[in-house]
Homo-oligomer: A and B are copies of this chain.
Amino acid sequence: MFDHPSDDLSCYTESEIINKIKAWLGTTTGLSPMGIGDDCAVFTPVPKQEYLVSTDALVYGTHFDSSISAQKAGNKLTLRNLSDIAAMGGQPKHATISIISSSKLSIKWLSDFFAGIKETSDQYGLKIVGGDLCRLEGPQFHAVMNIIGSSPRPILRNRAIAKDRIYVTGTLGGSILEKHYCFKPHLSAGQWLSSESLASSMVDITDGIAKELPFLLSDNTSASINLDNIPISDAAWHLSNQNKQIALKKAFCDGEDYELLFTLNSNADHPKFETQWSSRFPNVKLTQIGTIVPSQGADLIIDQSTQKPIDWILGFDHFKT
């Protein structure tokens, strides 16, 4: 099971593994939007009523360590899942939580973890309706949350077409300093983009825009990026010792920003859109970082100023080593 170094998970990127799973499941996974691969799964329990399910795990040693309090870990598990709902333009409703834990876990720690889940759930109107407890050997703790949400019009991936403008919320990079456990999921902004049919495609940035930008693209398109417009965070500047090239790379490649990355429909009035955004979400910075263009061969991300591929970027990958 674990001793096949020539063909184990570390030989493939996360996208490659997801594509394999799609192939393995065949017709058992439905056609998009009913198949796998977006921020949330979409299902239609009653005709014309689309629902979303997010699934996201929080693993001790991977997503948090003992430098973060149990309450902040509970906040983070909930916020991560809310961000997936936001990325579809959805409204969170009900959640389940699976706890897989060592029996040596302290009750005080678990109590604080649930206090964090409760705090964030109450803030966003989420109800915890069920779950599961399961024991594991060794000093380990994993929690998996699923949020069920509603969306009259889910905003999917791979729908951006040429001339759509590419926008990003907030600032990027260096989330490891603090943001990764205390960000704000952009639920209201996502819901507004959905209800007004403004966004052609949207994801939340969990693994860096270098990895997320290609997810926006429909066939035969590329993302043409204005590097001068990338909103680099103070944390990324700080971590790069004010070196612009390093800071830019952090903004492109660091994980866990949980900002929204989306494309505005090319037929939308973009100055009006930007004005409306500023008045509706005055605390959510919005930046146009590029435009979707017809495909330039196999290169999915292109520097707008040189028209050459941006090949110094590589998003975070969960498996490939």
Nearest-Cβ distance from residue A84 to partner chain B, whole angstroms: 9
Residues in A79-96 with C-beta less than 8 Å from chain B: 93-94, 96
Q: Which residue of B lies closest to A39 (CB)?
A: B130
Q: Across the interface, do A20 and B103 meet the contact criterion of CB distance under 8 Å? A: no
Q: Is A102 an interface residue (CB 8 A)?
A: yes
Within 8 Å CB of A109, what residues of B? 1, 4
Q: Is A51 an interface residue (CB 8 A)?
A: yes
Q: Is A283 an interface residue (CB 8 A)?
A: no
Within 8 Å CB of A297, what residues of B? none
Q: Across the interface, do B26 and A128 meet the contact criterion of CB distance under 8 Å? A: no
Q: Across the interface, do A29 and B105 meet the contact criterion of CB distance under 8 Å? A: no
Complex copy number for this chain: 2
Q: Is A139 an interface residue (CB 8 A)?
A: yes
Q: Across the interface, do A21 and B114 meet the contact criterion of CB distance under 8 Å? A: yes
Q: Is A314 an interface residue (CB 8 A)?
A: no
Within 8 Å CB of A49, what residues of B? 45-46
Within 8 Å CB of A148, what residues of B? 43, 45, 53, 148
Within 8 Å CB of A94, what residues of B? 41, 43, 53
Given contacts A61-B136, A61-B137, 5 further A-B contacts (CB under 8 A): A21-B110, A28-B118, A35-B129, A46-B46, A138-B138
> What is the interface of chain A, defined by CB distance below 8 A to chain B?
1-5, 7-12, 14, 17-18, 20-21, 24-26, 28-30, 34-38, 40-43, 45-46, 49, 51, 53, 55-57, 59-62, 66, 70, 93-94, 96-98, 100-111, 114-115, 117-118, 121-122, 126-142, 144, 146, 148, 150, 318-321
